[in-house]
Amino acid sequence: MNDEQVVEADLTWLEGSFRPNIQSVTGADGRISEVGPLGRTTMNRLADRAILPGLVNVHSHAFQRGLRGLGERFPEGAGSFWTWREAMYRLVESLSAETLYDLSRQAFREMLRCGITCVGEFHYVHHDHSGEGFALDEIILNAARDAGIRMVLLQTYYQIGGIGRPLEGGQRRFRCDSPRKFWRQFDRLAGQPGNPRISFGAAVHSVRAATIADLVSIHAESVRRGLVFHIHVEEQRREIDDCTAAYGLAPMALLNQRLEVDERLTAVHCTHTTPEDLRAFVQSGGSICLCPTTEGNLGDGIPDIAAIRSAAGVICLGTDSNVRLCPTEDMRWLEYVQRLRSESRGVLTDDEGRVASNLFRMATESGARSLGLNCGSIAAGNLADFVTLDLKAPPLAGWSPETLLDGWVFGTGEDVVDGVCVGGTWHRFR
Is residue 269 annotated as a catalytic residue, yes or no? yes
CA-to-CA distance for 242 and 162, rounded, in angstroms? 9
Closest separation in Å from C-beta 167 to Zn ion: 18
Is residue 320 annotated as a catalytic residue, yes or no? yes
Considering the candidates 304, 320, 330, 385, report the single residue annotated as catalytic. 320
> Per-residue x/- mask for Zn ion, residues 196 to 235, rule CB under 5 A?
----------------------------------------
> What is the maximum span of the chain, computed from C-alpha positions, in angstroms?
66
Q: Which of 8, 214, 277, 320 binds Zn ion (CB under 5 A)?
A: 320
**CB closer to Zn ion out of 148 and 327:** 327
**CB closer to Zn ion out of 320 and 414:** 320
Exposure string for 76-91, b = 16+ CB within 10 A, e = fewer: eeebebeebeeebeeb
In contact, 321 and 64? CB cutoff 8 Å: yes
Using the rule CB under 5 A, give the single segment among 14-22, 103-111, 312-320, 370-378 that binds Zn ion.
Answer: 312-320
Using the rule CB under 5 A, give the single segment among 186-194, 208-216, 316-324, 417-425 that binds Zn ion.
Answer: 316-324
User: What is the side-by-side strand order in the sheet with 55-60?
Assistant: 55-60, 116-123, 150-157, 198-204, 229-233, 265-269, 287-290, 314-317
Using the rule CB under 5 A, give the single segment among 6-14, 192-200, 215-223, 320-328 that binds Zn ion.
Answer: 320-328
**CB closer to Zn ion out of 110 and 320:** 320
> If binding means CB under 5 A, how many residues of this protein chain bind Zn ion?
1
Closest separation in Å from C-beta 90 to Zn ion: 17
Exposure string for 366-380, b = 16+ CB within 10 A, e = fewer: bbbbbbbbebbbbee
Closest separation in Å from C-beta 323 to Zn ion: 12
**CB closer to Zn ion out of 242 and 320:** 320
Closest separation in Å from C-beta 270 to Zn ion: 12
In contact, 384 and 412? CB cutoff 8 Å: no
Closest separation in Å from C-beta 20 to Zn ion: 40
**For the chain, how many residues are written?**
430
Using the rule CB under 5 A, give the single segment among 99-107, 128-136, 317-325, 333-341 that binds Zn ion.
Answer: 317-325
Type of residue found at 18: F
Using the rule CB under 5 A, give the single segment among 49-57, 83-91, 313-321, 360-368 that binds Zn ion.
Answer: 313-321
Task: Please identify the residue of the shown chain whose CB is closest to the bound Zn ion.
Answer: 320
Considering the candidates 269, 300, 304, 330, report the single residue annotated as catalytic. 269
**CB closer to Zn ion out of 38 and 167:** 167
**CB closer to Zn ion out of 295 and 418:** 295
Closest separation in Å from C-beta 49 to Zn ion: 34
Which residues are marked as active site?
269, 320
Q: Which residues bind Zn ion (CB under 5 A)?
A: 320
